[in-house]
Chains A and B, each alone.
Chain A
């Protein structure tokens, strides 16, 4: 089948970008969306043109590398699917699509469809962990975890950090991403000691990185390829409000001795 691609081409972070039109006359329905761009890139390379830059790695929907806007929707039209798992059988002959990078102040464009999402790493570094040094853990079965809590923690922990939630949000909020980590660790008994600190630091870091705040639009939940629920954000708010009343950073004398 024939597919017409309009792709955002931008040479680097500082240059202006524009849409460029490409015609793909022989697209197989069995191809993945990214394989179609692979084919385009092979042709561009042979013609001496610059191939389209896009992030990708595992192509199994788990590493979280890939992601761009297809017709204004992060990862494209199929629900619960990263763009690497989107297949061309969902398109028909003659379809025209528009590809753009994720757009958010905190995700500057590096080139074409590739953006810099390192802000996510800095948010995790601010408190998205349980402090336990290697070697100091008690036996794994020492601490029973209610299965329902464990399952909910797993639901939230499935977040792949792709950034689609940010791209879909009119406020470019990272609330779904941040709340998924807060919920994952907050549902587990291991995560309680640092629960206030985690909420406080991660939420503040999110704002500092230039992400907006949540206004309950719900786009993030609708487009999340891993089905992360917006109820995580409610949990984050609760933890954050509680922490903002109760939490104090460690005092200097805290560990003295």
Chain B
């Protein structure tokens, strides 16, 4: 059965689509809103903002997070900033330009109507956050400050030092806590969603495990919202928090939600290189550093001289050389790949030659140490703490790392997945960033979805269904709970020899080597063969201590890794079938003579949407064709 991929894009000129959609939506009478219940899974920018906003509207909201507090969601780690088409700088920005940049930056693999709406509501996000007390950077006159950010030629990025994600999340968290106090939102802490409940074709609830006690519970509602983030940890090492996982969206996929473009993963160019086998995660150095830092490698291969002793004319500022118009500010996928090319050719620096320099000497000379400290002080501190080196005195060493996943559950214009009543927001959906996300756009999308889209589209959905009607004793609820219990029992019964992390690292290695910054058919075929073997080993040889009826962190990780082991294969299958290069998806077979990504718009100007067919069966590939009526298909050029 093919998926229904009706994108439900409103008719009319692109500037008016969202207004028209809002007007056409059905409304729930204020006094009826409290009769409807909505489950929100995830408490980050998307989930937290959605739960708070729907609570304000009067719906009964249940919000779930696996951390000990909604304030821990990984949105908190975003450093650089949030884009908005305010044009406060009078430098030529507009809604249309932000829309244009995002479509082009995404290498023409996102839906125009969604992206236009994102640009439209971006301006409201800033207003909302300022009103909540988010301490954005300000000028001496008291107005909001902006900076330019990777891939943009206008200054449209709002920021709160290097902690923008933290401050935006605390804004959403405080709004959420206010609703919790008001009784409109009930918060479930340390609760992980382990199954989606679908009844008569509609998403009606979830099964959760209380991570502190091990209790498995059924929650039913009239609709379910997933704002559960990205799946970068499929690669084991990434800049994601340790807990980030795919489980919520993967469970939904296995219940019939289409998975859009899983292979669109973003490798961030500026991360601290790996130091050893024990490494637990990689740390991002905000892309904002590229505003004042210059990236270079020595012109001589395998040059082991200390950076500061290499004379100016023996350095290759390769981004400035290859992309004179954008230089160090070129988009992430391009900067990452350029670093990989340098290192592969033997110009890399540091242990194993896996690094390039990010140098502030020139900026410190021009602007003074104080200015650089003000702009990036906390980032420099993070770097020094982790590496033990002083970036004021010598250049940072950086290397690309998995950072963000543009792919995710397929959603229509209303952010509804292929399962009616299941809505997906933020990084968890596939919608707005195409094949590459621009810097400072993730925060924008999460908050746009949570504050300004779902409150409308959820109302439209609920207005068309009757509230209530099922409880935890429904056969589907029991079946879902039984499935969770059976899975836990199975995990604990294996008692093999390998730890969860050992197997996760093996998966990560395959993913990074064969489905990382550069991919090819042979490597992907190898990965598609290898991953089921690792999965097989997991289910026969993993060792999980303890029981299910207690706090058990190994068991938590096992559940997540089991899902990554299935998703990993899907990512590779998607990468294998997309026989073109676009954005972060670089297939070595498809490149221009200069080594740039070569799209194939004839064959692949579409979103690939995968449909689950059963365990160990090949999933079906559906497509949603993409039309570009406003931004004309062209090869991206940042030269």
Q: B551: nearest residue on chain A (CB-CB)?
A: A111
Let me know if A59 is at the binding interface, CB within 8 A: yes
Taking residues whose C-beta sits less than 8 angstroms from the other chain, chain A's interface range is 35 or more
Which residues of A have CB within 8 Å of B281?
59
- Nearest chain A CB to B609 CB, angstrom units: 30
Which residues of A have CB within 8 Å of B231?
none
Stretch at the interface among A47-55, A98-106, A207-215, A240-248: A47-55
- Nearest chain B CB to A127 CB, angstrom units: 8
Let me know if A65 is at the binding interface, CB within 8 A: yes
Give the CA-CA distance A187 to B70 in the complex, in Å. 24
Task: Name A58-105 residues within 8 Å CB distance of B.
Answer: 58-65, 78, 80-81, 85, 87, 89
Let me know if A133 is at the binding interface, CB within 8 A: yes
- Nearest chain B CB to A252 CB, angstrom units: 17
Stretch at the interface among B167-175, B422-430, B626-634: B167-175
Most chain A C-beta atoms within 10 Å of own C-beta, residue among B68, B128, B141: B68
A224-243 toward B: CB 8 Å interface, digit per residue (1/0)?
00000000000000000000
**Contact status A118-B68, CB under 8 Å:** yes
Which residues of A have CB within 8 Å of B49?
134
B483-511 toward A: CB 8 Å interface, digit per residue (1/0)?
00000000000000101011000000000
**Contact status A60-B283, CB under 8 Å:** yes
Give the CA-CA distance A130 to B212 in the complex, in Å. 31
Give the CA-CA distance A145 to B160 in the complex, in Å. 14
A184-228 toward B: CB 8 Å interface, digit per residue (1/0)?
110010110000000000000000000000000000000000000
Which residues of A have CB within 8 Å of B124?
135, 137
Give the CA-CA distance A133 to B124 in the complex, in Å. 12
Report how many A-B pairs have Cβ atoms within 8 Å. 219
Q: A42: nearest residue on chain B (CB-CB)?
A: B499
**With A85-B382, A85-B385, A110-B212 as given contacts, are A45 and B76 in contact (CB-CB < 8 Å)?**
no
Stretch at the interface among B129-137, B360-368, B397-405: B129-137
Let me know if B278 is at the binding interface, CB within 8 A: yes
**Contact status B127-A138, CB under 8 Å:** yes
Give the CA-CA distance A141 to B139 in the complex, in Å. 11
Most chain B C-beta atoms within 10 Å of own C-beta, residue among A64, A81, A89: A64
**Contact status B76-A63, CB under 8 Å:** yes
Let me know if A144 is at the binding interface, CB within 8 A: yes
Let me know if B242 is at the binding interface, CB within 8 A: yes
Let me know if A8 is at the binding interface, CB within 8 A: no
Let me know if B268 is at the binding interface, CB within 8 A: no
**Contact status B283-A131, CB under 8 Å:** no
Let me know if A4 is at the binding interface, CB within 8 A: no
**With A50-B546, A62-B76, A128-B174 as given contacts, are A157 and B167 in contact (CB-CB < 8 Å)?**
yes
**Contact status A53-B144, CB under 8 Å:** no
B128-167 toward A: CB 8 Å interface, digit per residue (1/0)?
1111110111111111100000000000000011010011
A15-58 toward B: CB 8 Å interface, digit per residue (1/0)?
00000000000001011101100110010111011110101111
- Nearest chain A CB to B389 CB, angstrom units: 11
Give the CA-CA distance A56 to B160 in the complex, in Å. 24
Which of A28, A53, A58, A85 is the one whose CB lies under 8 Å from B76?
Answer: A58
Let me know if B561 is at the binding interface, CB within 8 A: no
Give the CA-CA distance A46 to B84 in the complex, in Å. 50
Give the CA-CA distance A157 to B52 in the complex, in Å. 20
**Contact status A130-B133, CB under 8 Å:** yes
**With A12-B550, A45-B545, A185-B133 as given contacts, are A121 and B70 in contact (CB-CB < 8 Å)?**
yes
Which of B138, B386, B553 is the one whose CB lies under 8 Å from A147?
Answer: B138
Give the CA-CA distance A145 to B132 in the complex, in Å. 13
B64-107 toward A: CB 8 Å interface, digit per residue (1/0)?
00011111101011000000001010000000000000000000
**Contact status B276-A28, CB under 8 Å:** yes
Give the CA-CA distance A140 to B56 in the complex, in Å. 21
Give the CA-CA distance A60 to B144 in the complex, in Å. 27
**With A111-B551, A126-B181 as given contacts, are A147 and B72 in contact (CB-CB < 8 Å)?**
no
**With A50-B545, A81-B385 as given contacts, are A65 and B180 in contact (CB-CB < 8 Å)?**
no
Let me know if B587 is at the binding interface, CB within 8 A: no
Most chain A C-beta atoms within 10 Å of own C-beta, residue among B49, B86, B130: B130
Give the CA-CA distance A56 to B243 in the complex, in Å. 8
Let me know if B413 is at the binding interface, CB within 8 A: no
**Contact status A63-B72, CB under 8 Å:** yes
Q: A34: nearest residue on chain B (CB-CB)?
A: B280
**Contact status B69-A118, CB under 8 Å:** yes
**Contact status A132-B131, CB under 8 Å:** yes
Which residues of A have CB within 8 Å of B163?
62, 158
Let me know if A161 is at the binding interface, CB within 8 A: yes
Give the CA-CA distance A119 to B510 in the complex, in Å. 43
**Contact status B77-A184, CB under 8 Å:** no
Which of B53, B187, B278, B543 is the one whose CB lies under 8 Å from A134?
Answer: B53
Q: B134: nearest residue on chain A (CB-CB)?
A: A157
Let me know if B442 is at the binding interface, CB within 8 A: no
Which of B135, B173, B279, B451 is the one whose CB lies under 8 Å from A153?
Answer: B135
Which residues of B have CB within 8 Å of A64?
69, 71-72, 76
Which residues of A have CB within 8 Å of B249?
none
**With A30-B276, A55-B68 as given contacts, are A147 and B140 in contact (CB-CB < 8 Å)?**
yes
**Contact status B77-A46, CB under 8 Å:** no
**Contact status B138-A150, CB under 8 Å:** yes
**Contact status A57-B502, CB under 8 Å:** no
Which residues of B have CB within 8 Å of A2?
none
B332-364 toward A: CB 8 Å interface, digit per residue (1/0)?
000000000000000000000000000000000
Which residues of B have CB within 8 Å of A190?
130-133
**Contact status B74-A134, CB under 8 Å:** no
- Nearest chain B CB to A43 CB, angstrom units: 9
A-B pairs with beta carbons under 8 Å apart, 28 shown: A12-B551, A28-B276, A31-B276, A38-B278, A44-B545, A50-B546, A53-B553, A62-B77, A64-B71, A87-B385, A116-B68, A121-B189, A125-B178, A126-B181, A129-B133, A134-B451, A137-B130, A140-B127, A140-B130, A150-B135, A150-B137, A150-B138, A153-B135, A157-B170, A188-B135, A190-B131, A190-B132, A191-B133
* Additional A-B contact list (5), CB under 8 Å, known A45-B543, A161-B69: A30-B276, A35-B280, A120-B69, A121-B187, A130-B133
| B binding-site residues for A, Cβ under 8 Å | 49, 52-53, 56, 67-72, 74, 76-77, 86, 88, 124, 126-133, 135-144, 160-161, 163, 166-167, 170, 173-175, 177-178, 180-181, 187, 189, 212, 241-243, 275-276, 278-281, 283-284, 381-382, 385-386, 388, 451-452, 455, 497, 499, 501-502, 543, 545-546, 550-551, 553-554
